[in-house]
Chain A
Amino acid sequence: MFDYDLELKKFKPAVGVEIGEDELFSDDIKDITDLVEELVAEREGKKASK
């Protein structure tokens, strides 16, 4: 059965260009490099605490 309300919920608001510089980069993608950097930082932090 086709659920109209469910379909409507899939629609996301459109984005304009009236956004600040901070907002522009705030919800950007986190890539593999970011993850590895986080892991390395975490590991280095553990070593330091020991």
Chain B
Amino acid sequence: MKCIKCGRPVGASRYCNACGFDNKHIAKALNTADYYYNIGLEKAQMHDLSGAEIYLKKALNYNKSHKNARNLLGLVYNEMGEGGKAYIQWKISAKLSSVEENVANLYIRQMEEHPAVFEEINETAKKYNTALSYAKQGSDDLAMIQVKKVLSITPNFVNAHLLFALLHMRAGDNVSAQTDLNNALAIDRYNTTARKYLNEMGENPDTVPEKRPADALKPDNENLRNVRPVDHYEDPNKETWKQFVYMLIGLAIGVVAMFVLVIPSVKASVSVDYNNLKKEYSQTTNKKDAEISTLKDDKKSLQKKNKKLTKRLKVYEGSKGEDSMYDSILKASQAYSSGNYVECAKHLLKVDKDSLPSTTAKNLYTSMKDKAFQNAAAQLYNSGKASFDAYKYQDALDDLEQSYKYDKSYNTEYHIAMCYKYLNKNTDKAQEYFYDIINNSGDSELIRKAANLGLDMVINSAKEAAAKAKGGSTTTDSKSDTASSSDSSTSKKSSTKSTTEEDFGADTSNSNN
């Protein structure tokens, strides 16, 4: 306990050692407040709510900070249907002690969490005050309508039952009044006003049967039966069938909304997704096609490169047991130095000039080739011609074919064809050679010999046949005559083909057939 004067703590003697003030009256007042609180609690437990209200108010007169008295008074008011008064008591209690242990905080929170409760309390108070006003003005019918509404909202409002009873009594409806009073006593068992009204009607209050207030609210006439509050809060537990109907209606609305709003939206979404997917797939396919095309190009390029590199590698390493191009160049060079042009030419044939990596090597190749091929061709032609004249056609053919590789001379070609003829082999090739000489050599002596001796025909017929075989127009004698050459030994093919291994390979293979 604190001193009322200086606020300092005081001991059991109640005298303040600091200021000397005697706090014994205060201490006694606090004790008295507790005493009345206990009586109020007892009465509340006995359902004597109005009695409890009186004693709790007394307790607060002695100690207005009596938290328990405040909270209990709030509960009593709440039980009597006066939520507004209850709320005030709990708010004051909460202000006196705002700690969580104060149960008033719980009551307030419960009320504030449900705005419908506030609405119900306000509506009750408003309609009750209107009814009271009507009653004081003498408009009892209107007052009764309002009270009926009040009781439909708050069935445990004791004062509304009492007012209703008074109005019924004034109207001479003692039966209804008795019912109202019984309802009031069911809530507040020892309500003095209700007991007084019952006495006034000649009834014994002690024989009043206990009834639940809500059950007692029966409309007593047709007009009142139809009167319903429009904006009051209804306990959801009371009309479960309505909730069930509302739930079904809500469910139906939900299903319709799903079909009307959700499903089309989902379908549209799926369609959009499908189109996007299709587009994406198409893009991916195009991309992959482009990649495949690029890879094919790369493959071709790499194969080409590989071929080129293999070819180049051949220059250095050779293949399948053959000499490399460097080996061939070296051997050709050796043969060239010793004047063996046939051997030199033989090695040079194996060399592909374009594959040679350096200019020096290419120059060496060219310088050796010009001289070696010319001399080798001459040597082999002479040797072949000697064999030919000696009727050794096979030996002649060997040398002449070699010579032809190095020098595409029509003379050599003529003798090779004649060898084929005499040896009776490669006749097609021989005929081809003869036609070639007739068509292209321009050497009239050689043309005459090719026609007469080779083809066993007169010149004009041979020329026509040659032209036909070539697939071109017929040539005339005058043309061939004008293109004559005086020295048959110098007649050469007009087209100076480069002598490559492939060319000779083909010729050789033909000759062998």
The B interface is mostly helix, strand or loop, or mixed, namely helix
Interface-centre pick from B5, B21, B33 (highest chain A CB count, 10 A): B5
Q: Contact between B136 and A8 (Cβ–Cβ < 8 Å)? A: yes
Kindly count the residue-residue contacts between A and B in the assembled complex, taking CB atoms under 8 Å apart.
91
Q: In the complex, what's the smallest C-beta–C-beta distance from B89 to chain A, in angstroms?
A: 10
Cβ of B456 within 8 Å of any chain A Cβ, yes or no, is no
Q: Contact between B64 and A34 (Cβ–Cβ < 8 Å)? A: yes
Cβ of B75 within 8 Å of any chain A Cβ, yes or no, is no
Cβ of B255 within 8 Å of any chain A Cβ, yes or no, is no
The distance in angstroms between the C-alpha atoms of A9 and B166, with both chains bound, is 12
The distance in angstroms between the C-alpha atoms of A15 and B126, with both chains bound, is 8
Query: Residues of B contacting A37 with CB < 8 Å?
Result: 4
Query: Residues of B contacting A28 with CB < 8 Å?
Result: 64, 92
Given known contacts A29-B61, A32-B63, A33-B63, A15 and B4 CB-to-CB distance under 8 angstroms: no
* Interface band, chain B: 35 or more
Q: In the complex, what's the smallest C-beta–C-beta distance from B98 to chain A, in angstroms?
A: 14
Cβ of B135 within 8 Å of any chain A Cβ, yes or no, is yes
The distance in angstroms between the C-alpha atoms of A11 and B167, with both chains bound, is 12
Query: Residues of A contacting B64 with CB < 8 Å?
Result: 28-31, 33-34
Q: In the complex, what's the smallest C-beta–C-beta distance from A42 to chain B, in angstroms?
A: 13
Given known contacts A24-B91, A24-B92, A33-B29, A17 and B121 CB-to-CB distance under 8 angstroms: yes
Cβ of B122 within 8 Å of any chain A Cβ, yes or no, is yes
Cβ of A22 within 8 Å of any chain B Cβ, yes or no, is no
Q: Contact between A18 and B122 (Cβ–Cβ < 8 Å)? A: yes
Query: Residues of B contacting A32 with CB < 8 Å?
Result: 25-26, 29, 61-63
Q: What are 29 A-B pairs with beta-carbon distances under 8 A?
A: A2-B200, A4-B166, A8-B132, A8-B166, A10-B193, A11-B132, A13-B132, A14-B129, A15-B82, A16-B125, A17-B122, A24-B88, A24-B91, A28-B64, A28-B92, A30-B64, A31-B60, A31-B64, A32-B25, A32-B26, A32-B63, A33-B4, A33-B29, A33-B64, A33-B65, A36-B4, A36-B25, A36-B26, A40-B5
